[in-house]
């Protein structure tokens, strides 16, 4: 089973962005998590250079992202809903959360390797996100094992990565529609999910959700910071630019209720918060 106690292998990276691509292509979730943590340690230890080249120009894209044969990927409408009153239902929910975190590791790694010419802090930020997502996945996979299941035991959908593929040619679109849109929805969804787990008596899972929620606010904040920076660099107004991106890439429509407190902490502007209130109203 893939979880945090899997043996850590030795990894050798030629540079930060090539290392991120290596981690992205890794199939085993446990080895991917170990590789990400090793890459993070190597970068902060000063052992890695930051390549300036456009790595995507020489990359075929095959094997991206690396993932195991299971879970079976199906349409979101085909993902079965199970009762939280049963151990299987709670395990299915934990599995869905683990799948989101596994995808989030890949999304952060993809941002590091795919987009050349960004400031050094951009790559450091998304490496940090990848390391935290790997930690989240490991917590959830370990808890899933404690419940008698493993990652891959339930079906899952691929919506997060599909948006990554749509936005692979433009870093602004990627930042607008992955961290600021899809991942920001997690800020809204996490509190009621945590409440359901706590009500079902799964205190350990609720505690894991608290850790994830704390870190995800930071991840969306990073997304907001780089979105606004990119808009400034391109001379664009962030709010109409975001609206245009949503239309162009067919992003899921905004739906409330919104966790306005968390979204404010994650760097959404007052004008955006008012927009969220209007949608909710």
Structural domain contains residue 5: no
Structural domain contains residue 2: no
Structural domain contains residue 168: yes
What is the rounded average pLDDT of the residues 160-164?
92
As a whole number of Å, the end-to-end CA separation of the chain is: 45
- Residue 212's domain comprises 16-280
pLDDT band at 116 (very low <50, low <70, confident <90, very high): very high
Tokens 């909710």 -> residue: 280
Structural domain contains residue 9: no
Q: Which two tokens stand for residue 119?
A: 């400031």
What CATH number corresponds to the domain at position 124?
1.20.1260
The rounded distance, in Å, linking the Cα atoms of 255 and 205 is: 26
Structural domain contains residue 209: yes
Structural domain contains residue 7: no
The rounded distance, in Å, linking the Cα atoms of 153 and 173 is: 33
pTM of the model: 0.94
Cis peptide, bond prior to residue 182, ω within 30 of zero: no
Count of domains forming the chain = 1
Comparing 194 with 4, the larger pLDDT belongs to 194
pLDDT exceeds 70 at position 247: yes
DSSP for 47-62 reads: ------S-GGGG---T
Structural domain contains residue 248: yes
pLDDT band at 2 (very low <50, low <70, confident <90, very high): very low
pLDDT exceeds 80 at position 80: no
Residue 188 region by backbone torsions, left for phi larger than 0, else alpha for psi between -120 and 50, else beta: alpha
Q: Across the strands, what pairs with 156?
A: 73
What average pLDDT does the chain have? 92
Quick one: how many helices (H) and strands (E) in the chain? Answer: 11, 0
Structural domain contains residue 190: yes
What is the rounded average pLDDT of the residues 196-207?
94
SS3 228: helix
- At 5 the pLDDT is 38
């Amino acid at each position: 089973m893939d979880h945090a106690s899997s043996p850590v292998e030795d990894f050798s990276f030629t540079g930060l962005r090539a290392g991120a691509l290596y981690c992205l292509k890794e199939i085993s979730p446990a080895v991917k998590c170990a590789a990400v943590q090793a890459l993070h340690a190597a970068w902060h230890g000063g052992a890695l250079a930051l390549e300036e080249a456009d790595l995507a120009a020489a990359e075929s894209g095959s094997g991206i992202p690396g993932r195991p044969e299971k879970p079976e990927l199906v349409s979101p409408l085909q993902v079965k809903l199970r009762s939280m009153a049963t151990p299987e239902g709670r395990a299915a929910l934990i599995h869905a959360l683990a799948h989101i975190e596994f995808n989030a590791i890949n999304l952060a790694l993809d941002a590091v390797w795919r987009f050349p010419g960004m400031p050094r802090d951009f790559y450091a930020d998304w490496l940090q996100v990848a390391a935290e997502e790997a930690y989240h996945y490991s917590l959830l996979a370990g808890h899933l094992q404690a419940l008698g299941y493993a990652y891959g035991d339930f079906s899952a959908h691929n919506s997060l990565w599909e948006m990554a593929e749509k936005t692979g040619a433009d870093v602004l679109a990627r930042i607008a529609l992955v961290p600021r849109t899809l991942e920001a929805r997690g800020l809204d969804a996490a509190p009621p999910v945590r409440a359901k787990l706590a009500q079902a008596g799964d205190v350990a899972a609720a505690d894991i959700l608290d850790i994830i929620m704390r870190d995800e606010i930071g991840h969306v904040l990073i997304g907001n910071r780089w979105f606004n920076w990119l808009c400034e660099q391109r001379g664009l107004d962030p709010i109409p630019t975001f609206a245009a991106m949503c239309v162009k890439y067919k992003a899921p429509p905004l739906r409330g209720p919104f966790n306005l407190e968390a979204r404010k902490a994650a760097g959404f502007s007052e004008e955006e918060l008012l927009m969220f209130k209007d949608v909710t109203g």
